[in-house]
Chain A
């Protein structure tokens, strides 16, 4: 650059030879300003990230704890199996009145007058509506419980749980809230005796969705997202890498390959809902695959992720120095040996990074899943990718639309789980990259 002085500049210098003003001050000031802009931009980003994360964590950390009420339950034979038929007809155990068994337990523990219908109702409302089902499953699994008294830990009703976590405004008139003064008294009574306590919410990870907030979990969504990721990985990685290797190393450079390249780049920017429309038309309406199945979701997301992976892989292949290729060919390797023995291993870190970014993108997608029926209420955990399921972002979306207060914390809790899922995936990418990274 020093030789590139224009005649005009030379004239300026020659006219004032004593002052060697090369604008040092000005240039330093410009650099300082640029650094300040950079820091401001970074700070701006960090502030918003911090705001987002702090809101999510503040709203969501309580979802990892759940109020439970431990009560001694009498499995009275008179209520469950009055005619003693369970040896011959096990179905009586399924149809028995467990609601009454659970109600008796809470009424007894609170010392409520069993004749006072309103009080019995209010006391029963403290327990989750899942309590009778929980008792039924216990008895069906082990009929010898009948006639015994066992301490069972029940989920508290969502309203009670919210009140116990301080999320309900208890200062408003009693008629405007769902927890009565009576129930607050009972809550204090149960807390004092140690029967009611907050415990780690394992149900959040193991149960399927439920209309009762206290019993709703991410189980289906986690399994569904796992299936989706697996399908996308297994399909998109080999297809994407094969396509890029062919395009980059073997294909002739002509109009056709240029057209393909332009199309791939365009596909990467197509709105994801379009892939959902395509999936509905091709996989469900034409191929007859089942609605709401992670298999269809996985196929749709594969199509969506492919361009990302192809673009990243081609960039990684191009970054391998030509000298390596020339050396391999010079030593007598075939073109295929050159690619698979030398170029591909060196490009691996870049390919993996692109794949993980594509997967992370697919993990957070809801729009294409809407049209293929995966935005749905699913209670049973899917045993295979053919069974109905949802995905993590879908679950967040659905919980965000619920009316009950208790779903607010669960929504944020689910976001935290999704973020953790992403962090684990990204960590995996970094570790893999470190492992494969080579220097020359």
Chain B
């Protein structure tokens, strides 16, 4: 019993100390699970390169959850950096302001491609946004009228596609990837197929028009995946006719199992994403609290290390993992904006 009493006392003492020793000695990062692997590589290399600082802690959980934590306030008990696979939105900015997080620096780290891939056995698919729209949208145009999507097979959409049941595994609503998928694929397809014009005639509000365009069919042929890409991969392993949405880096790591589809005739690759010819790509960001720079040990160094060419340049470990490097001039601009302390 004595040992028990002693350890209980020690624990109580350590809790009491906690309040006093609140200054943190390592950087705390949270946010997007798409940016997580990149942030991990940077954090690890940072810890190895700067032996005077501890390795930053990188939490996962999604862009929205990360920004929510980020906007909780300023001080060592809040996180320093939020990773994001999309831009911070107005609502989040307001929440940040309300909590006293007024000076936020936005840092773009590069681009990520979103690819459609299927099992090797199905062969290479040649997709265009209008075909994807016709296959996955909740409503499509038939004879000038909006009707519930009647297409059951890919060949119903476009005779050149294989005659297999449509089964698409797309990122769930909480993913940043979903937004890109909606913007770059569904909205584009909506316009191309003429559905937008029909919707415009029926709906006045512009926001409602977009909402109608990006609605995905709910009859089970398009499945929302709320987990990570590994879940999508498992779904495709179970249904060999399925098509999944992946990040470029995830596809490249599993290229022996998956076949990537071309979009509008372009094969997704680092080169076609960087020069903008592959249509479905997005920039990746992280956000830093300016008030924490110089207060939290190593934060300034971490930010500068992250945007150095050693990390995000064309021949860096992040690019090797799957990040698409921003063009030279843009990287210079990113570094300059950090130097100048530009806030949003």
Which 4 pairs from chain A and chain B are nearest by CB? A379-B55, A377-B58, A376-B59, A403-B253
Q: How far is the CA of A237 from the CA of B317 in the complex (A)?
A: 48
Q: Separation in Å of the A283 CB from the closest CB of chain B?
A: 9
A410 at the interface (CB under 8 A from B): no
Select one of A212, A376, A388 contacting B60, CB under 8 A: A376
Binds B, one of A8-16, A289-297, A315-323: A289-297
Q: Separation in Å of the B74 CB from the closest CB of chain A?
A: 14
Contact A404 B18 (CB under 8 A): no
Q: How large is the interface on B (under 10, 10 to 19, 20 to 34, 35 or more residues)?
A: 35 or more
Contact B230 A378 (CB under 8 A): no
Q: A373-B30, A386-B21 are in contact. Are A234 and B11 (CB under 8 A)?
A: yes
Contact B59 A373 (CB under 8 A): yes
Q: How far is the CA of A234 from the CA of B47 in the complex (A)?
A: 33
Would you list 6 pairs from A and B whose C-beta atoms are within 8 A, ordered by A residue?
A292-B28, A376-B57, A376-B60, A379-B44, A384-B14, A401-B229
A84 at the interface (CB under 8 A from B): no
Contact A388 B57 (CB under 8 A): yes
Q: How far is the CA of A237 from the CA of B28 in the complex (A)?
A: 33
State the A residues within 8 Å of B (CB): 94, 129, 133, 168-169, 172, 176-178, 208, 210-212, 230-231, 234-235, 237-238, 284-285, 287-292, 295, 370, 373, 375-380, 384-386, 388, 398, 400-405
Q: Which residues of A contact B8 (CB under 8 A)?
A: 234-235, 238
B92 at the interface (CB under 8 A from A): no
A411 closest partner in B (C-beta): B230
Select one of B7, B19, B59, B69 contacting A288, CB under 8 A: B19
Q: A380-B55, A403-B254 are in contact. Are A287 and B19 (CB under 8 A)?
A: yes
Q: Which residues of B contact A402 (CB under 8 A)?
A: 37, 230
B250 at the interface (CB under 8 A from A): yes
B24 at the interface (CB under 8 A from A): yes
Select one of B19, B28, B37 contacting A291, CB under 8 A: B28
A394 closest partner in B (C-beta): B60
Contact A169 B256 (CB under 8 A): yes
Q: Which residues 135-151 of B have a CB within 8 angstroms of A?
A: none
Seed contacts A230-B7, A376-B30, A388-B57; 5 additional CB < 8 Å A-B pairs: A235-B11, A288-B18, A290-B22, A291-B28, A403-B230
Q: Separation in Å of the B11 CB from the closest CB of chain A?
A: 6
Q: How far is the CA of A375 from the CA of B60 in the complex (A)?
A: 7
B59 closest partner in A (C-beta): A376
Contact B55 A403 (CB under 8 A): no
Q: A403-B229, A403-B253, A404-B253 are in contact. Are A398 and B7 (CB under 8 A)?
A: no
Contact B47 A379 (CB under 8 A): yes
Contact B60 A386 (CB under 8 A): no
B249 closest partner in A (C-beta): A403
Q: When each residue 1-13 of chain B gets 1 if its CB lies under 8 Å from chain A and 0 otherwise, what string results?
A: 0001001100100
Q: Separation in Å of the A287 CB from the closest CB of chain B?
A: 7
Find the residue from B19, B30, B253 having the highest chain A CB count within 10 A.
B253
Q: Which residues of B contact A385 (CB under 8 A)?
A: 14
Q: Separation in Å of the B314 CB from the closest CB of chain A?
A: 14
Q: A230-B7, A405-B253 are in contact. Are A375 and B18 (CB under 8 A)?
A: no
B77 at the interface (CB under 8 A from A): yes
Q: Separation in Å of the A100 CB from the closest CB of chain B?
A: 15
Q: Which residues of A contact B229 (CB under 8 A)?
A: 401, 403
Q: Separation in Å of the A344 CB from the closest CB of chain B?
A: 11
Contact B14 A386 (CB under 8 A): yes
Contact B11 A231 (CB under 8 A): yes
Q: Separation in Å of the B223 CB from the closest CB of chain A?
A: 18
Contact A291 B15 (CB under 8 A): no
Q: How far is the CA of A386 from the CA of B17 in the complex (A)?
A: 10
Contact B4 A398 (CB under 8 A): no
Q: Which residues of B contact A292 (CB under 8 A)?
A: 28, 57, 59
Q: How far is the CA of A401 from the CA of B14 in the complex (A)?
A: 34
Select one of A177, A285, A386, A405 contacting B18, CB under 8 A: A386
Q: How far is the CA of A386 from the CA of B25 in the complex (A)?
A: 11
Q: Which residues of A contact B51 (CB under 8 A)?
A: 94
Contact B256 A172 (CB under 8 A): yes
Q: Separation in Å of the B321 CB from the closest CB of chain A?
A: 8
Contact B48 A133 (CB under 8 A): yes
Q: Separation in Å of the A65 CB from the closest CB of chain B?
A: 22
B55 closest partner in A (C-beta): A379
Contact B256 A379 (CB under 8 A): no
Contact A210 B44 (CB under 8 A): yes
Q: When each residue 41-75 of chain B gets 1 if its CB lies under 8 Å from chain A and 0 otherwise, what string results?
A: 10110011001001101111100000001001000
Q: When each residue 308-323 of chain B gets 1 if its CB lies under 8 Å from chain A and 0 otherwise, what string results?
A: 0000000001000000
Q: Which residues of B contact A403 (CB under 8 A)?
A: 37, 229-230, 249-250, 253-254
Q: How far is the CA of A211 from the CA of B43 in the complex (A)?
A: 9
Contact B11 A398 (CB under 8 A): no
Q: How far is the CA of A176 from the CA of B36 in the complex (A)?
A: 25
Q: How far is the CA of A237 from the CA of B165 in the complex (A)?
A: 57
Select one of B37, B54, B59, B250 contacting A211, CB under 8 A: B37
B33 at the interface (CB under 8 A from A): yes
Q: Which residues of B contact A231 (CB under 8 A)?
A: 11
Contact A295 B57 (CB under 8 A): no
Q: Separation in Å of the B179 CB from the closest CB of chain A?
A: 20
Q: Separation in Å of the A210 CB from the closest CB of chain B?
A: 6
Q: How far is the CA of A168 from the CA of B253 in the complex (A)?
A: 11
